[in-house]
A and B are shown apart, each in its own frame.
Chain A
Amino acid sequence: MDYFLQQALNALSLGGEYALLALGLAIVFSVMGLVNFAHGELITVGGYAMFLAVLIFGVKDPLLILPVGVLAAIFFAVLLERVAFRPVRAAPPTTGMLMAFGISIILQNSALIFVGTRPKAVPTAEWLMLDVNIGSLRMPVVQLLEAGVTIGAITLLVVFMRNTTIGIAMRAAAKDFSTVRLMGIRADRVVRTAFAISGLLAGLAAVFIMARRGAVDPFMGFTPVLKAFVAAVVGGFGSLPGAVIGGFALGIAEVTLQATLPSSVAGFRDAFIFSAIAVLLLFRPQGILGERPDFGEKT
């Protein structure tokens, strides 16, 4: 039972990380039609910002360092939108995608040149690394926090999208951007808000990824965002609830297989997962919650 609960918390925190990242990808895609391949760099930027903050503030003040990671990711997401994506907004979607690829490569290489290939250690606050005892259970603080923060962030996002004018406008813009403009709502503001939210979610994920890894390197954003992309596709690309479901489903699947596969085949975990996804997509090409697109012209 204890073992089960611990694995459940593992699944919840890993799934939460994927869900945060998948949501960020989905929110930008739904508003802009842009698959932001530079999303992983938001995590990396958050990581390096925390590294710098440790140099400046010292490790004693984790409550200062964590928000630095989040704020850096938000700032950077908004900056990217302004200088890189806005100029090509009217261009075909593939232009934006290439732009995102380019930015991703430029940032990775800048980190390699200016900071170096070796991971930089970012010591985490000690209390984050502790376990707490709940009855007979020992739960790592970082995982409890990650699960809690994810659920909190998703709840806040739902409230925001339902109850603020700009949130409602973002939902409307996902289907019909020009009519949103006819309401007098500024397109720039809608897009900037989408990027800021994607940065916030990536920044939260970055804080927890850093806490677990303890170090930042130029490519640290790649794998989590690849997984998040898969999660978003499984959930239905562009659907926000789909991104959350896809993220948690992937986290649960990974943890379950990790815990149950015999050690001789444990190395094939991802192969099992991707096969299952391939089968799912054969039957539901639009993902779990995606709307069925018109594939007619290609078949």
Chain B
Amino acid sequence: MLEASHISVNYGPIKAVRDVSIDVGRGDVVALLGPNGAGKSSLLSSLVGLVPKNRGTVVFDNEEVSRASTEDLIRRGMSVTPEGRRIFGDLTVGENLRLGAAIRSDKDGIAEDTEKFLDLFPILRKRFNSAARYLSGGEQQMLAISRSLMSRPKLLMLDEPSLGLAPRIVDQIFEFLVTLRQWGLTLLIVEQNASEVLEIADRAYVLSTGSIVFSGTANELSNSGGVMELYLGLEGH
């Protein structure tokens, strides 16, 4: 589904991502882990064309898209739930969902999908016509994920979906990600919080100061105490 090879991202003199290659197969759930400042968000932004790559190639759905614009990549079936949710606070919940479906023109399908998410998250139905900024953090995250699914993506990339949320809400979010996995979606989940995501991921990469320091199955990572402790601040099993 997604093969990114030798990606580098520089901000002036800062080398945020150095020669990173990752591979996400169709239907896979892949975790991208690493401490704050490791370059996870920069990698994601470069994959979706929001920040320029200094080097590297991206193949998405068997097509070379290294130079494609963000708008193009979304139309081809990528979608991102950005770090910090980035819901449109002045817009209503309904308008947020509508913008998520901006690339589609099948009115009936859009209405059907909207209903689907309103059924999954009744609070979104209740607040459908009020400004999204009044939702709680967890509700905003549900809205942000729903919004990024409204384009019917083939690949959904989530940037720290658990960031700043209470443990109970984090559990809910991960339950929802398991549902998405059951729907057959391909997921690339960026997290600092390794333990929850490793329970649902097939494979994992660990990024540190811009470079991949580990890649393997989620099980291998859970059992490799050294990596867990060194980069993720967790005791290995």
Chain A residues engaging chain B, CB cutoff 8 angstroms: 165, 168-169, 171-172, 174-176, 178-187
Contact = CB atoms under 8 A, between A and B. Distances in A.
A185 B103 CA distance: 7
A56 B148 CA distance: 53
Interface string B82-93: 100010111100
Given A181-B50, A183-B151, A184-B151, A168 B71 contact: no
16 contacts: A169-B102, A171-B88, A172-B90, A172-B99, A174-B90, A176-B88, A181-B71, A182-B70, A182-B79, A182-B80, A182-B148, A183-B102, A184-B71, A184-B102, A184-B151, A185-B103
Contacts of A185: 71, 99, 102-103
Interface of B: 48, 50, 70-71, 74-75, 79-80, 82, 86, 88-91, 95, 98-100, 102-103, 147-148, 151
Nearest to B73: A184
A183 B80 CA distance: 9
B50 A168 contact: no
A209 to B, nearest CB: 33
A175 B89 contact: yes
Given A168-B95, A183-B147, 14 more contacts: A168-B99, A169-B102, A171-B88, A171-B91, A174-B90, A175-B89, A175-B90, A179-B86, A181-B70, A181-B74, A182-B80, A183-B100, A183-B102, A187-B71
A182 B91 contact: no
Nearest to A182: B80
Given A165-B98, A172-B99, A182 B88 contact: no
Contacts of B102: 165, 169, 183-185
B88 A179 contact: yes
A172 B71 contact: no
Nearest to A165: B102
Contacts of A169: 99, 102
Which residue, B75, B91, B148, has most C-beta atoms of chain A within 10 A? B91
A165 B102 CA distance: 7
A179 B75 CA distance: 15
A171 B89 CA distance: 10
Top 9 closest pairs, chain A to chain B, by CB? A184-B74, A184-B103, A172-B88, A179-B86, A181-B70, A183-B99, A186-B71, A183-B102, A185-B102
